[in-house]
Structure 1
Amino acid sequence: ARPWNEPSARMKNQFEVITETGEVPVLLPADPLDQGYELWAAGGRQRRCDGETCEVPRKINDSDYEFVPTGCLCVKEGARSCQPKSRLLVVLPTIPFRGVWRIETSSWTALDELPYQVGMLTSLQATGRLMQARLSLHQETKKTPVGTRHYVVPRLSMDATPMEILSGGGTAAELAGATVTAVDAPRRAALTAGTQGAPDPGESETRPQTTDDDIIDAEIVEDDEDRDVVLAGLRSDAAQFDLDVDKFVAAVVVQTDGDVGRMRTARSKMASGEIEPTGFNDDGSVAWKR
């Protein structure tokens, strides 16, 4: 853990934690999974849809908006603009309790797999008990006609068998005796200059890529993640590199699917000199120098 201080952050003296383990013990609270399709832009979330009903912002006064329902705009427009979004709430039992933590992913595979994993675990859960599980990140690779796709998929598993759970095992009370095996951390791939297309929901991680790299799409974050702070930082970065501020922020938001963790990773890479924005490609995406 190390201090993390953003000058424009609402909360001061925060910390960031980087772990080399690819697996952590977790407990699942009630109703831990929320999924949908979302569209993000520099100004924030523009759409949230369940595949049929879409919620879009409507201005109600000079400073406030409300979300109102309408039909799926991707269907109406004949093109999929939204990206999948899965948010899983977990409790980290080995640290002092401060509420729940959230893992966010834009993975199409997670969109398909997590409901079954969560459903199986919660169906085995006895009334009033938190279910012990393990959360891990798996590096996956898929070859496509346009290149090799690297992506990270979060998965839930457990050590106890269904029979042990039914007899009272595999719960929080037994967690103290559990052993966590450290595995190699998944590779954090570099930011690319290309944008990501969006497949049909039935497809599994087949979005076209212009290079072999992709931004990691799974981050454990706190519930009070301040998106505005990261966007303000990106605006500062754009000014530092003498780029059109609004165009740069919008392009990074598109490339990261609006994921705060991935935008923060991009900022860290710029700060360390690992990548440098040099301009814009013909499609409006950021051109990066490595």
Structure 2
Amino acid sequence: MGSRLLNIQARAAEHGRLRTGYTQGNRPVRSRTWVVSSHSEEHVRAAAELWGGKPEQWKPLNQTTEQWRVITEAESIEALITPGDPLNQYNEMWTKGGCARRCDGQTELISRKPCLCLAQFGEDWHLQPKERVCKATSRLNVMLPDLTGMGMWRAQTHSFYAAAEWGAMVDMILAGTNGRGFLPVNLRIEPRQRVAEGKTKRFPVVVVELRGVTPRQALSGPLSTAVALNPGASSEALAIEAPRPDYIAEAEGGLTSEDVRDVWRRAREAGHVSPEGSDPLSQQLMAIAARMDAEGAEPVPDEDGAVEAELVEEPEPALAGPGQQSWPSVAQPGSRGR
């Protein structure tokens, strides 16, 4: 592997943004579906093919460079959380000149002073008009595995509820993976409402939820890249059938034909033979039982030429009870497999 600069942090290129709103002229509009924007026409057209919508050229407010965007038909999209900490959160105030304030909730980082909104308006500063105070701003960097390119996409929201939920979700993920490996998630726009002071407010919240894996899997350590890219296949891999017993070897190890019939019964209960005895395995077991019956048909005399007599009580024929199956006729003693 080649060398890397040690005084800079390596990061993937940003391909575009995932938005929950768009502009019509100078008017902002909320969207119930995802809006994908990028400088790359190829990426946007790929998103349109995947999630619907019509690609179009678009110029963000207060910018002179045109981009591409598509208002998709998807309320939920599949994404990957990548290694490292993908989430950045600040209270921010933006003007035409750029970011005027960036606060972590205690310290305003540009001026290096205590929270300016708190100092000016008190603890209820968040109830002030939006243009007078900072907005909660959350940025989540994800990879979209089904789009072209190996870069990152930024999902951004100013929702207070998303800020709390994204932070909790990402912190739990990092506790389980230690920031290593990929994790499959869904980014879903969820409509919500809140009633306060007699007024009902409806608003969208972006929810980050696990996709195709359980919390046990997500918190037990980094997933393999193959599982993260195709999480549905992981459950199939876990459901691989247990090794099938070697019924022939077990039958050959038996002492009598009754031992062989016990092997057949276990195979029948496991669903490995036909109840009628018509399958090849049943035929092999019957042949082994028939051979044992033939070998044990004539008694073997001892060294004095005597044969020990054995009294055997003939049992009453057993009737199959409810839910039980008797041996098929071809497996009965003395049938010789015919």
Question: With structure 2 as the length reference, what TM-score do the two structures score?
Answer: 0.44
* Root mean square deviation, CA, Å: 2.8
| Residue correspondence of structure 1 range 28-43 to structure 2 within 5 A | 28-29=81-82, 30-43=84-97
| 1:149 correspondence with 2:149 | no
- Between the aligned partners of 1:152 and 1:40, the Cα distance in structure 2 is 22
**How far off is 1:26 after superposition?**
1.1
- Is contact 1:132-1:172 (8 Å) kept? no
Cα 1:153–1:172 shift into 2, 3 Å: farther
Q: Deviations over 1:200-244 (max 9, x none)?
A: xxxxxxxxxxxxxxxxxxxxxxxxxxxxxxxxxxxxxxxxxxxxx
1:26 and 1:92 in contact (8 A); partners too: yes
Unaligned runs of 5+ in 2: 1-47, 49-54, 126-132, 233-338
SS in 1 for 2:111: strand
Q: Which residue of 1 aligns with 2:69?
A: 16
1:46 counterpart (87, 92, 100): 100
CA distance, structure 2, for counterparts of residue 113 and residue 100 of structure 1: 21
> Is the 1:49–1:72 contact (alpha carbons within 8 Å) kept by the matching residues of 2?
yes
| Counterpart residue number, 2:330 | none
Q: Equivalent of 1:4, from 37, 57, 71? A: 57
Superposed displacement of residue 5, structure 1: 4.6
Paired AA for residue 40 in structure 1: W
Q: Residue deviations 1:31-80, cap 9 Å, x none? A: 1111111122333322111121113xxxxxxxxxxx33112112221342
Q: 1:142 to 1:89 in 2, by over 3 A?
A: same
Contact 1:137 1:155 in 2 (8 A): yes
Aligned to 1:260: none
Contact between 1:32 and 1:89, CA under 8 Å: does it hold in 2?
yes
Matched, 1:90 2:142: yes
Q: Provide the aligned length of Structure 1 versus Structure 2.
A: 167
- Conserved in 1, the CA contact under 8 Å of 2:76 and 2:189? yes
- Within the alignment, does 1:133 sit opposite 2:185 as a pair? yes
- State the structure with bigger RCO (CA 8 A, min sep 6), 1 or 2: 1
TM-score, normalised relative to structure 1:
0.51
Q: Aligned equivalents of 2:137 and 2:171: distance in 1?
A: 18
1:74 counterpart letter in structure 2: C
Point out where structure 1 has 5 or more consecutive residues left out of the alignment.
Answer: 56-66, 180-290
State the shift of 1:21 in Å. 1.6
Alpha-carbon distance, 1:177 to partner: 4.2
Give the SS at the match of 2:194.
strand
> Equivalents in 1 of 2:208, 2:221: separation in Å?
20
Q: C-alpha separation between the residues in 1 aligned to 2:73 and 2:205? A: 16
**CA distance 1:50–1:5, change in 2 (3 Å):** closer
Residue in 1 that maps onto 2:226: 173
Counterpart-to-counterpart distance in 2, 1:108 and 1:127 = 25
Larger radius of gyration: 2
Secondary structure of 1:21's counterpart equals coil
**Aligned equivalents of 2:63 and 2:79: distance in 1?**
28
| Overall identity of the aligned pairs, in % | 30
Residues of 1 paired with 2:205 and 2:179: CA distance?
Answer: 29
